[in-house]
Chain A
Amino acid sequence: MNYEAVIGLEVHVQIKTRSKMFSRVAAGYGHEPNTLTDPVVLALPGVLPVMNRAALDAAIKAGLMLGCEIAPVCKWDRKQYFYPDSPKNYQISQYDQPICLGGAVEIELPGPARNVMGEHRTIPLTRIHLEEDVGKLNHGAGESLIDFNRAGTPLMEIVSEPALRSAEEAFAYLTSLRALMVQGGISDCDMEKGQLRCDANISIRPVGERKLGTKVELKNLNSIAFVRDGIGHEIRRQIAVLERGGTIVQETRDYDGQTGASQSLRSKEMAHDYRYFPDPDLMPVKVDEAWKARLKAECPELPFDRQRRYQTQYQLPYTLTSVLIWDRPLAEFFEAAVAAAGPHKAQAVGNWIINDLLRELGQARIALAEVKVKPGAVAALVELVENGVVLTNAAKEIFVEMFATGDAPAAIAERRGLKVVPTDTDELEQWCRDAIAGNAKALAEFKAGKDSAINAFKGPVMKSAKGRADPKQVDATLRRLLADS
């Protein structure tokens, strides 16, 4: 029997703010344990929460980018359960009125080849709500220690509809979502630092069946690759259970990315009653149109929208757009260079960025923000090549030096003697004669009408010229001599 999977993802994204969700103490990662705490974070007797508006801004911005409906009022609820990582033994969260409702994430599935665009799908969202993160337990031999540095960090929970059908779709969904959050400045989404965490609800059903199967929740998927592998593993596990004539148990399973296996954490019978109720310490906050408009203005263009624009505006090929759009600073660098070079040179600019700039960045292990090369310099280099001032090979050398020094390409070309020099006509003519004389086969082919045979003479000429001859001049001289011979 053929089965299809039904997958919904719950993604937790830590919001990048200076201070915590409900207190003034700094938020951060990698500090000495329990240094990012204060009476509020530790839930000492008598303390009260005060909402961090920057975190609410970020959640609204995320919602606007994802096309969500923004709630007119931001309301807070207490989610109650006892656990040592939760200082108040309740978590301030949003229950019946999440800050964002609906919305969608556009995803691209893998294409038939790397250089061919894959199918796009739109995955609808259920909701996004804001809450506070919990602390971290460290279990040692005979003792458990708690680090509350993470406790109270602003956290968004982004819940998708059960609309994903495969591990690849889940992978594509997270790739899109992460890019949006990073490009919107909402989170750095570093999964190793726990800034993006994902739980998956997975069920399977026979193809054609409308009724949903029993769902299993998969937790601890702590890299995007593990999400794909873990979901793939779970789908295969469920199919195997059904094929054996077994039934799927509703449960929570823990996936271990290292071993590629999962094990049951708890079954549904232990489901919690969280006793949600509105937090009486926090007043609802009204979100008006002006507030939303201000944040809307800060939202960047979405990656796939950018891709469509590059395709229509610059006729850029997929091989270029599919690299540029996932990196907002890179795309902005590209656009600045195109603005300087002119739109008809967009592809040439794009090639320099994707090939040479990315290569140099990779070798230097630095971020784009730190590079010495400015977009205008890339435009100037393209200009030099197009105008025949330097040849492509020379330009590649120039780029490496531009990257290292930040100097203007024309200055480097001058300094390094890499400019095309108008060659002495007699000397060129002699090199051309030598080349023709040295390749009788090509001469015969050319005479027989095969025009491209002329290229066989150009290599030796260029070699004699040490690469600095003007290709147009070479071509013209060869044609004159060939016509005469």
Chain B
Amino acid sequence: MADAVCFQTIAVLADRLKAGELSAVELMQAVIARTRAVDPMVKAFNTCDEADALAQARASDARRAAGQARGLLDGIPVGLKDVIAVRDQPLTASSRMLADFISPYDATVTQRLKAAGAVLWGRLNLDEFAMGSSTENSAFGPTRNPWDLTRVPGGSSGGSAAALAAGAVTATLGSDTGGSIRQPAALCGVVGLKPSYGLVSRYGLVAYASSLDQIGPFARTVEDAAILLGAIAGHDPLDSTSFRTDIPDYRAVAGAAPRPWRIGIPKEYFGEGLDSEVAEAVQRAIAFYQSVGCEIHEVSLPHTSYCLDTYYIIATAEASSNLARYDGIRYGHRSRQADDIVGLYEKSRAEGFGAEVKRRIILGTYVLSSGYYDAYYLRAQKVRTLIRQDFLQAYGQVDALLTPTSPVPAFKLGEKSDPLAMYLCDIYTIGANLAGLPAISVPCGFTRAGLPVGLQLIGRPFQEADLLAIARSYEQAHDWHRRYPTIR
């Protein structure tokens, strides 16, 4: 019974909590038991605070008993990627640099989840500072894919995807800079949504690349993702890049009757490097949409081939600047080997950062250097505009674009030791970040080896409602999301 509860959706659990069939404490106890059972194998959690979670659950039950329940999320365990600040909890970014850092403040999304009554459960593993596509770059060791423990869960939000897929939490938040929500969602067989840039506040999200980072939900279903998005979206005066827009009832609009959407298939996303089983699963999804009356159009995004280069210039440039604050002076790792200020900087950062983080800082520092700025950073910003224009032009013709999320299913730990091979994992997801568009990954099948495959839908800016509706119509006709891994 305990495990069944652990795989139920927010929508179902909210009804059961409301009906009094289940208490938040019982739910949390089941989740703790499941976590204890599976996390030694999956290693999705950096830390978890059982006493704190149970206290939150008791507070939720007390509210409900007093007739003051706060809505669907009240009492629901929600896990946060360990780059989202929670007051008095660790905030490590899976880095040695922040191994002992406790946040003295809440991120805006954290405050909103607390206000909605969610029970915050666990600090979830990631590639250090969200740099990577496999969660192997964590200073605390890799997370495993619940569907096959020899394989990666994807990344960088691998802990958020794997914990959810393993039943150790009901929903989670991750962050997505180049695919870090959608790719692990696809590899772990769950739903992952990256909202439009500016829809969700970044205040309290450890910055990787400021103009690309966006917090978003992982959930078992599109409906759950819509519920979670509704709780965290909306303008925040603490984030100057957050957008003023009305937040609809995403759950209601996602559940509305299907419409004959116009769906674009960008031809550049089905070329070389795409695994044949992934391609087949995505083709079946296209056939489904056609069968329910949607128009399917082949479209072209001609600057797609520049996405990866553009991303690795802009993201690393911003990262090199954002990570400059980790210097061992005010907080974080401080080397004991230094005897002057320059030595303190060099040694603290040399000891505190892992190889991939260093690689990106060096690359970003280089592209911003005097004499190279115009050739790299400025040029990349111009290409970024062209990439965005490609998308906006396509939206003259279609309501959403449909692509594979990841070119390949979950790969083996250690399989992609070449950084460039790893970077190619994000080839289909980066475009939405560069263009600031909402995009969602939805489970769309399994390979013959039993590995999940994800389908990506990319929508118009700030039209998350349409995107969720399109994704939900697929989900309602399929049952991929009802399959759970056997962890062994």
Contact surface of A with B, Cβ cutoff 8 Å: 39, 42-51, 78, 80, 82, 84, 87-90, 146, 273, 275-277, 280-283
Stretch from B36-44, B198-206, B395-403, B405-413 at the A interface? B198-206
List 19 A-B residue pairs with CB atoms under 8 Å apart, sorted by A's residue number. Answer: A39-B104, A44-B103, A44-B105, A46-B83, A46-B107, A48-B203, A48-B240, A50-B237, A82-B324, A84-B329, A84-B341, A90-B321, A146-B329, A275-B320, A276-B373, A277-B317, A277-B368, A280-B209, A281-B207
Q: Are B239 and A48 touching (Cβ within 8 A)?
A: yes
Chain A positions within 8 Å of B321 at CB level? 78, 80, 90, 275, 277
Supposing A78-B321, A277-B317 touch, asked if A45 and B241 sit within 8 A by C-beta, the answer is no
Supposing A46-B203, A80-B324, A89-B327 touch, asked if A275 and B369 sit within 8 A by C-beta, the answer is yes
Q: Are B93 and A281 touching (Cβ within 8 A)?
A: no
Interface string of B232-251 (1 = CB under 8 A from A): 00000111110000000000
Q: Are A281 and B240 touching (Cβ within 8 A)?
A: yes
Instruction: State how many angstroms separate the Cβ of B482 from the closest Cβ of chain A.
Output: 36
Supposing A273-B369, A275-B370 touch, asked if A45 and B318 sit within 8 A by C-beta, the answer is no
Chain B positions within 8 Å of A275 at CB level? 320-321, 365, 368-370, 373
Residue of A nearest to B204 (CB): A46
CA distance A324 to B345 in the complex (A): 54
Chain A positions within 8 Å of B345 at CB level? 82
Q: Which of A45, A273, A280 contacts B85 (CB 8 A)?
A: A45
- B325 interface residue (CB < 8 Å to A): yes
Residue of B nearest to A278 (CB): B381
CA distance A348 to B178 in the complex (A): 76
Chain A positions within 8 Å of B317 at CB level? 277
Instruction: State how many angstroms separate the Cβ of B346 from the closest Cβ of chain A.
Output: 10
Supposing A46-B83, A275-B365, A275-B369 touch, asked if A82 and B327 sit within 8 A by C-beta, the answer is yes
Report, nearest first, the 4 A-B pairs whose CB atoms are least far apart.
A89-B324, A280-B210, A280-B211, A275-B368
Supposing A82-B327, A89-B325, A281-B210 touch, asked if A47 and B368 sit within 8 A by C-beta, the answer is no
- B98 interface residue (CB < 8 Å to A): yes
Instruction: State how many angstroms separate the Cβ of A174 from the closest Cβ of chain B.
Output: 32
Q: Are B103 and A273 touching (Cβ within 8 A)?
A: no
- B480 interface residue (CB < 8 Å to A): no
Q: Give residues of chain B (120-172) contacting chain A, Cβ–Cβ below 8 Å.
A: none
CA distance A43 to B327 in the complex (A): 11
Chain A positions within 8 Å of B270 at CB level? none
- B423 interface residue (CB < 8 Å to A): no
Q: Which of B103, B211, B325, B373 contacts A88 (CB 8 A)?
A: B325
Interface string of B166-210 (1 = CB under 8 A from A): 000000000000000000000000000000000000111111011
Chain B positions within 8 Å of A48 at CB level? 202-203, 238-241
- B91 interface residue (CB < 8 Å to A): yes
Supposing A45-B85, A80-B321 touch, asked if A87 and B368 sit within 8 A by C-beta, the answer is no
Residue of A nearest to B371 (CB): A273
Q: Are A47 and B327 touching (Cβ within 8 A)?
A: no
Residue of A nearest to B370 (CB): A273
Contact surface of B with A, Cβ cutoff 8 Å: 83-85, 91, 93, 98, 101, 103-105, 107, 202-207, 209-211, 237-241, 317-318, 320-321, 324-327, 329-331, 341, 345, 365, 368-370, 373, 377
Residue of A nearest to B101 (CB): A45
CA distance A281 to B329 in the complex (A): 23
Chain A positions within 8 Å of B324 at CB level? 80, 82, 88-90
Chain B positions within 8 Å of A50 at CB level? 237-240
Q: Are A46 and B210 touching (Cβ within 8 A)?
A: no
CA distance A281 to B241 in the complex (A): 6
Residue of B nearest to A282 (CB): B240
Instruction: State how many angstroms separate the Cβ of A142 from the closest Cβ of chain B.
Output: 12
Instruction: State how many angstroms separate the Cβ of A414 from the closest Cβ of chain B.
Output: 62
Q: Are B91 and A45 touching (Cβ within 8 A)?
A: yes
Q: Are A45 and B98 touching (Cβ within 8 A)?
A: yes
Instruction: State how many angstroms separate the Cβ of A139 from the closest Cβ of chain B.
Output: 11
Instruction: State how many angstroms separate the Cβ of B343 from the closest Cβ of chain A.
Output: 12
Q: Are B330 and A42 touching (Cβ within 8 A)?
A: yes
CA distance A84 to B320 in the complex (A): 17
Chain A positions within 8 Å of B210 at CB level? 280-281
Q: Are A45 and B368 touching (Cβ within 8 A)?
A: no
CA distance A146 to B341 in the complex (A): 13
Q: Are A45 and B341 touching (Cβ within 8 A)?
A: no
Instruction: State how many angstroms separate the Cβ of A33 from the closest Cβ of chain B.
Output: 13
Chain A positions within 8 Å of B84 at CB level? 46
Q: Are B104 and A44 touching (Cβ within 8 A)?
A: yes
Q: Are B206 and A283 touching (Cβ within 8 A)?
A: no
Residue of A nearest to B326 (CB): A45
Chain B positions within 8 Å of A281 at CB level? 207, 210, 240-241
CA distance A50 to B201 in the complex (A): 13
Chain B positions within 8 Å of A276 at CB level? 368, 373
CA distance A106 to B42 in the complex (A): 72
CA distance A88 to B331 in the complex (A): 12
Chain B positions within 8 Å of A89 at CB level? 324-325, 327
Extra contacts besides A45-B83, A47-B203 (12): CB < 8 Å: A39-B105, A43-B330, A45-B207, A46-B85, A46-B91, A80-B321, A80-B368, A87-B325, A88-B324, A273-B370, A275-B373, A277-B368
Instruction: State how many angstroms separate the Cβ of A281 from the closest Cβ of chain B.
Output: 5
Q: Are A44 and B329 touching (Cβ within 8 A)?
A: no
Q: Are A46 and B207 touching (Cβ within 8 A)?
A: yes
Instruction: State how many angstroms separate the Cβ of B46 from the closest Cβ of chain A.
Output: 14
Chain B positions within 8 Å of A47 at CB level? 105, 203-204
Chain A positions within 8 Å of B327 at CB level? 82, 84, 89
Chain B positions within 8 Å of A82 at CB level? 324, 327, 345
CA distance A283 to B235 in the complex (A): 14
CA distance A78 to B103 in the complex (A): 25
Which residue, of B83, B238, B324, has the highest number of chain A Cβ atoms within 10 A? B324
Residue of B nearest to A23 (CB): B238
Chain A positions within 8 Å of B98 at CB level? 45
CA distance A87 to B329 in the complex (A): 9
Instruction: State how many angstroms separate the Cβ of A47 from the closest Cβ of chain B.
Output: 7
Instruction: State how many angstroms separate the Cβ of A210 from the closest Cβ of chain B.
Output: 29
Instruction: State how many angstroms separate the Cβ of B146 from the closest Cβ of chain A.
Output: 28
Chain B positions within 8 Å of A78 at CB level? 321
Q: Are B377 and A277 touching (Cβ within 8 A)?
A: yes
CA distance A78 to B320 in the complex (A): 12
CA distance A283 to B202 in the complex (A): 14
CA distance A84 to B324 in the complex (A): 11
Residue of A nearest to B366 (CB): A275
CA distance A22 to B324 in the complex (A): 18
Instruction: State how many angstroms separate the Cβ of A45 from the closest Cβ of chain B.
Output: 4
